[in-house]
C-alpha cells in the first residue's frame, strides 16, 4: 500500500501545481480527437435516437409534472398518469 501512496501523492501535487492558478485550455480540434462520437450503424438506431416512443413521451410528461412524478413513485406510473392526464 505504501508503494502506491508515494506516486499518488506526487501525481496529486503536480496536478495542483499545474492547475492551481489557471484552467486547462485545450483547442477544440484537439478535444474532438479525444471525444469522437460513434456513428450510428443502422437506420433503426438513428431513428430511435431522434424519435421517442409514445410510452417514453408519457413517462417524460409525468416526470415533468411534480404531483404525477411523486404519485408514480407511490402507486405506479400507469395509475398516476391516468389520474392526472386521463387514459393512455
- Could you give the dihedral angle defined by the CA atoms of residues 30, 33, 37 and 43, in that order, rounded to the nearest 10 degrees? 120
CA atoms within 13 A on the CB side of 42: 3
Contacts of 65 (CB under 8 A, 6+ apart): 84
CB 72 within 8 A of CB 88: no
Has this prediction a pTM greater than 0.85? Answer: no
Q: What is the mean pLDDT of the chain?
A: 78
pLDDT on residue 20: 57
Closest by alpha carbon to 50, among 62, 36, 40?
40
pLDDT band at 27 (very low <50, low <70, confident <90, very high): confident
- Residue 85 or residue 19, greater confidence: 85
CA gap 80, 36 in Å, rounded: 40
pLDDT tens per residue across span 31-65: 666 666 666 667 777 777 778 888 888 999 999 99
- Residue 68 or residue 15, greater confidence: 68
Amino acid at each position: 500500500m505504501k508503494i502506491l501512496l508515494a506516486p499518488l501523492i506526487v501525481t496529486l501535487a503536480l496536478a495542483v501545481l499545474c492547475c492551481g492558478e489557471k484552467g486547462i485550455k485545450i483547442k477544440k480540434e484537439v478535444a474532438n480527437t479525444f471525444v469522437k462520437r460513434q456513428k450510428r450503424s443502422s437506420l433503426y438506431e438513428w431513428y430511435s435516437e431522434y424519435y421517442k416512443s409514445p410510452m417514453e413521451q408519457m413517462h417524460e410528461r409525468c416526470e415533468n409534472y411534480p404531483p404525477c412524478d411523486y404519485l408514480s413513485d407511490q402507486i405506479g406510473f400507469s395509475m398516476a398518469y391516468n389520474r392526472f392526464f386521463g387514459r393512455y
